[in-house]
Amino acid sequence: MIQRIQSLYLLLTSVASILFLSGDFLRFFNDSGAEVSIDYRGIWLAGTGEAPQMLESQVIIPAIGLLLIILPFIAIFLYKNRKMQVKFAIVSAILSAVLIAIMGWYAYSTGQNHQAVIVPGFRTFLPLILLLFSILAWLRIRKDENLVRSYDRLR
Q: Which of 131, 30, 113 is nearest to 72 (CA)?
A: 131
What the chain holds in terms of domains, given with CATH numbers, is 5-154 (1.20.140.150)
pLDDT tens, residue by residue, 49-89: 777 888 888 889 999 999 999 999 999 998 888 889 999 99
Q: Predicted confidence band at 3 (pLDDT cuts at 50, 70, 90)?
A: low
Q: 152 or 123: whose pLDDT is higher?
A: 123
Instruction: Answer whether 9's CB lies under 8 Å from 76's CB.
Output: no
35-38 and 26-30 beta bridge pairing: antiparallel
**Stretch 35-52: mean pLDDT, rounded?**
82
Q: How far apart are CA 137 and CA 7, in angstroms?
A: 7
- Say if residues 82 and 144 touch (Cβ distance below 8 Å): yes
Give 74-130 pLDDT, tens digit per residue: 999 988 888 899 999 999 999 999 999 999 998 898 888 888 888 888 888 999 999
